[in-house]
A = this chain, B = another copy of it.
Amino acid sequence: MLPFARVSILGLGLIGSSIARGVKAYMPGARVTGYDADPATRLEADALGFLDDVADSPGAAVTDADLVMLCVPVGAMAQAAASMADDLPADAVVSDVGGCKVSVAAALRAALPQATIVPGHPVAGTEHSGPAAGFPGLFKGRWCILTPAGDTDPAAVMRVSAFWERLGAEVEVMDAAHHDRVLAVTSHVPHLIAYSIVGTASDLEEVTRSEVIKFSAGGFRDFTRIAASDPVMWRDVFLNNREAVLEILQRLTEDVTMLQRAIRWGDGDKLFDLFTRTRAIRRSIVEQGQDDAAPDFGRRHE
């Protein structure tokens, strides 16, 4: 049995279009309608053909939906929710894919006081953006975290959970505030640092931009890949997960300062200990299928 029969997707970028493609691929009986605030994106989505119908307005997109999935940057969630509030069927479930959950849950609840809301966050993506970048298998083997409020209808949580499992994801339910702390560590602060170091490099006077690019295989290019992600999406994540990001950043700064001191004073043991400890975490990530063991630094090779 299909968890939802009429899925409506608001926001047709990488994530929204991947969900739409995944529904067509893995829940073939379900109908998928989509809308994007950008007319050019609507046209592109229509031409790519991964939707049954491209609606002309948010209201028209949701009018007969049993699942409405909001796939816009977290700073645009409130407005996206408000824009379709009048047309939302009473029994529809509303979910989203935002990368931080406390602020989004509050925004959705304020815009849709009567709706059944199951906020979610698929921990998946690529460094590319837009409807053409989506693909049906994006969520396979990745985790999707749901953060429903305590009084949410358990049946609705079950259905959203089943929906993500059909897309290939594993589902975990957790408290929104805990989600925001975990993701600040595993995603938000890493992105901020990657953006920052690419910025620092491009500001150096004596090191030319061409040198930075030429010799990027020593680690830098991996940071640039992270720092190539969608700017609007990331700006919104940082502004909306402020407290958790600032706290993790503070801890990281302390730890970097400790390493800085170890380098200044030639304390090799302290460096060696940390560098050994971090290897074990890498091993666990590979063992649990969250990354390949293949030596990716070499990229294409014989």
Q: Which residues of A contact B (CB under 8 A)?
A: 75, 99, 123-128, 133, 135-138, 140, 142-143, 145, 172, 178, 181-183, 185-204, 206-207, 209, 211-229, 231-232, 234-236, 238-239, 242, 245-246, 248-249, 251-253, 255-257, 259-260, 263-264, 266, 268, 271-272, 274-279, 281-285, 288, 290-292, 295-302
Contacts and interface: CB of A to CB of B under 8 A. Distances in A.
Given A232-B272, A275-B235, A225 B298 contact: no
Contacts of A297: 125-127, 225
Nearest to A299: B292
A204 to B, nearest CB: 6
A197 B296 contact: no
A187 B212 contact: no
A282 B229 CA distance: 10
24 contacts: A124-B298, A125-B298, A126-B296, A128-B295, A142-B217, A178-B207, A181-B204, A183-B218, A185-B220, A186-B220, A190-B218, A195-B274, A196-B252, A199-B274, A199-B278, A200-B248, A203-B255, A212-B281, A213-B284, A216-B290, A224-B278, A224-B282, A224-B291, A225-B297
A222 B228 CA distance: 14
A200 to B, nearest CB: 5
Given A207-B185, A260-B246, A213 B301 contact: no
A260 to B, nearest CB: 6
Given A186-B220, A204-B185, A235-B268, A215 B145 contact: yes
Contact of A298 (B138, B255, B257): B138
Given A249-B260, A301-B140, A255 B213 contact: no
